[in-house]
């Protein structure tokens, strides 16, 4: 059971994208931005939106026009602070929906001031409950016992609380949870004193950015260290990297993946910042999207790649200040194409 993966973009791609057994072709080839539109999806790119997001307890629902909704798997997508305009993550939401998932995007904020952060989890949970009620009423949706959760920044903090209190908040139990650059910056609201009570049956993946000047790594390390050693958990550190003749800066908002079709016309500092720095690029598909896909699919190789340290040579290191730190090494190098 792997505890921490300290990986640059190159190593992440080698281990999660280029991995193959001896004598076999790679199963997860590197995808360039020009190839994104050629990905073979089982469902249509036409995405239906349900917009009930006027209030802080509001929500958006997204699904492919030809998806089978009655028994569709459920993804809860939790935005970061002020990120209540789905265009910020729209390309990723579309990618998830085209695989047959129903995506619920709770709003949880009226604006960037209200409500207080210690109310975020309750507001988000009410939005999830109301969205599920809408789906049951209109599509006879069979609410699954568990759902897949993914969240960015403060959204990762909210999910961290739901990993413990999902029953109290009456939302589906997380089966997997992916926290992208989770944290609270200078705010402390919504943080628990301890995360030792996280359900150990949940598979937890945390992705840090080494150049994160917004939330840093304090919160992600806290959650990772306090979560049970009995659970499958991994912490991946994405490092700024020159790859394929391009430079990828591992900043706080790397997982932004803009799609104007999801624009709710809401504008605030977060949206304006996303419009400045957000882009959908190779890093989205090959790191963030790919990792969540692997977790969601749940095949044996996916879990082996992410969680089983015996698949790769490892060594300990003290640089990150954690006990039992493991680094994945590879004898191969990724080089830019001619």
Report the percentage of the chain scoring pLDDT > 90.
58
User: Which residues, other chains included, contact 28 with Cβ-Cβ below 8 Å and sequence gap of 6+?
Assistant: 16, 17, 18, 19, 290
What pLDDT shows up at residue 219? 96
Most confident of 21-30, 118-127, 305-314: 118-127
pLDDT-based confidence at 234, cuts 50/70/90?
confident
What pLDDT shows up at residue 38? 65
pLDDT-based confidence at 291, cuts 50/70/90?
confident
User: Please, are residues 48 and 122 in contact by the beta-carbon 8 Å criterion?
Assistant: no
What pLDDT shows up at residue 298? 59
CA distances from 205 to 179, 185, 234, 307 (A): 6, 20, 5, 9
* Selected residue with higher pLDDT from 3 and 161: 161
Place of tokens 């020009």: 34
For the four alpha carbons of 50, 261, 56 and 217, in that order, the dihedral sign comes to positive
pTM assigned to the model: 0.84
151: tokens are: 């969240």
Over the stretch 127-179, which tens digit does the pLDDT of each residue have? Answer: 999 999 999 999 999 999 999 999 999 999 999 999 999 999 999 999 999 99
Over the stretch 245-289, which tens digit does the pLDDT of each residue have? Answer: 678 888 999 999 999 999 999 999 999 999 999 988 878 887 788
Q: For residues 149 and 160, what is the distance between their CA atoms, to the nearest angstrom?
A: 10
Over the stretch 61-74, which tens digit does the pLDDT of each residue have? Answer: 999 999 999 999 99
What pLDDT shows up at residue 326? 31
Q: What average pLDDT does the structure give for the chain?
A: 81
What pLDDT shows up at residue 130? 98
Whether residue 314 is predicted with pLDDT greater than 50 in this model: the reply is no
What pLDDT shows up at residue 39? 73
168: tokens are: 């109290």
Whether residue 308 is predicted with pLDDT greater than 70 in this model: the reply is no
Q: For residues 262 and 13, what is the distance between their CA atoms, to the nearest angstrom?
A: 29
Quick one: 139 exposed, middle or buried, by C-beta within 10 A (0-12, 13-18, 19+)? middle
Whether residue 317 is predicted with pLDDT greater than 50 in this model: the reply is no
User: Please, are residues 27 and 290 in contact by the beta-carbon 8 Å criterion?
Assistant: no
* Selected residue with higher pLDDT from 230 and 89: 89
What pLDDT shows up at residue 185? 87
What pLDDT shows up at residue 244? 62
pLDDT-based confidence at 36, cuts 50/70/90?
low
Report the percentage of the chain scoring pLDDT > 70.
75
Q: Over the chain, what HEC string results? A: CCCCEECCHHHHHHHHCCCCCCCCCCCCCCCCHHHHHHCCCCCCCCEEEEEECCCCCCEEEEEECCCCCCCCCEEEEECCCCCCCHHHHHHHHHHHHCCCCEEEEECCCCCCCCCCHHHHHHHHHHHHHHHHHHHHHHHCCCCCCEEEEEEECHHHHHHHHHHHHCCCCCCCEEEEEEEECCCCCCCCCCCCCCCCCCCCCCEEEEEEECCCCCCCCHHHHHHHHHCCCCCCEEEEEECCEEECCEEECCCCCCCCCCCHHHCCCCCCHHHHHHHHHCCCCHHHHHHHHHHHHHHHHCCHHHHHHHHCHHHCCEECCCCCCCCCCCEECCCCCCCCCC
* Selected residue with higher pLDDT from 191 and 16: 191
CA distances from 86 to 111, 177, 200 (A): 14, 19, 31
Place of tokens 């790594």: 217
pLDDT-based confidence at 238, cuts 50/70/90?
confident
Over the stretch 85-110, which tens digit does the pLDDT of each residue have? Answer: 999 999 999 999 999 999 999 999 99
Whether residue 230 is predicted with pLDDT greater than 70 in this model: the reply is yes
What pLDDT shows up at residue 207? 87
Q: Which domains does the chain have, with CATH numbers?
A: 5-328 (3.40.50.1820)
Q: For residues 39-51, b (16+ Cβ closer than 10 Å) or e, as one string? A: eeeebeeebebbe
* Selected residue with higher pLDDT from 23 and 108: 108
Q: For residues 142 and 70, what is the distance between their CA atoms, to the nearest angstrom?
A: 6
What pLDDT shows up at residue 61? 98
Q: For residues 275 and 269, what is the distance between their CA atoms, to the nearest angstrom?
A: 10
* Selected residue with higher pLDDT from 309 and 275: 275
User: Which residues, other chains included, contact 38 with Cβ-Cβ below 8 Å and sequence gap of 6+?
Assistant: none
Whether residue 50 is predicted with pLDDT greater than 50 in this model: the reply is yes
């Amino acid at each position: 059971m792997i505890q921490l993966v300290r990986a640059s973009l190159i190593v992440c791609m080698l281990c999660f994208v280029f991995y193959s057994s001896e004598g076999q072709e790679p199963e997860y080839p590197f995808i360039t931005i020009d190839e994104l539109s050629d990905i073979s999806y089982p469902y249509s790119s036409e995405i239906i939106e349900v917009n009930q997001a006027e209030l802080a307890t509001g929500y958006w629902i997204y699904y492919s026009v030809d998806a089978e909704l009655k028994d569709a798997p459920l993804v809860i997508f939790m935005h970061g602070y002020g990120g209540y305009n789905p265009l910020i993550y729209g390309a990723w939401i579309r990618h998830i929906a085209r695989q047959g998932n129903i995506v619920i995007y709770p709003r949880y904020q009226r604006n960037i001031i209200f409500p207080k952060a210690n109310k975020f989890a309750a507001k988000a949970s009410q939005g999830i409950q109301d969205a599920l009620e809408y789906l049951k009423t209109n599509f006879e949706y069979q609410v699954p016992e568990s759902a897949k959760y993914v969240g960015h920044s403060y959204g990762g903090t909210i999910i961290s609380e739901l990993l413990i209190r999902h029953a109290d908040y009456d939302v589906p139990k997380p089966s997997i949870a992916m926290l992208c650059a989770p944290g609270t910056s200078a705010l402390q609201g919504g943080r628990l004193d301890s995360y030792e009570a996280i359900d150990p049956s949940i598979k937890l993946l945390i992705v840090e950015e080494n150049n994160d000047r917004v939330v840093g790594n304090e919160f992600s390390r806290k959650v990772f260290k306090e979560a049970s050693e009995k659970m499958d958990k991994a912490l991946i550190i994405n490092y700024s990297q020159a790859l394929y003749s391009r430079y990828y800066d591992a900043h706080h908002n790397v997982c932004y993946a803009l799609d104007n079709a999801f624009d709710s016309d809401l504008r605030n500092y977060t949206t304006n910042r996303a419009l400045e720095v957000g882009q959908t690029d190779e890093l989205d598909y090959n790191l963030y999207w790919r990792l969540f896909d692997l977790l969601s699919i749940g095949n044996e190789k996916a879990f082996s790649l992410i969680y089983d340290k015996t698949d790769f040579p490892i060594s300990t290191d003290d640089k990150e200040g954690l006990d039992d730190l493991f680094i994945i090494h590879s004898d191969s190098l990724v080089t830019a194409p001619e």
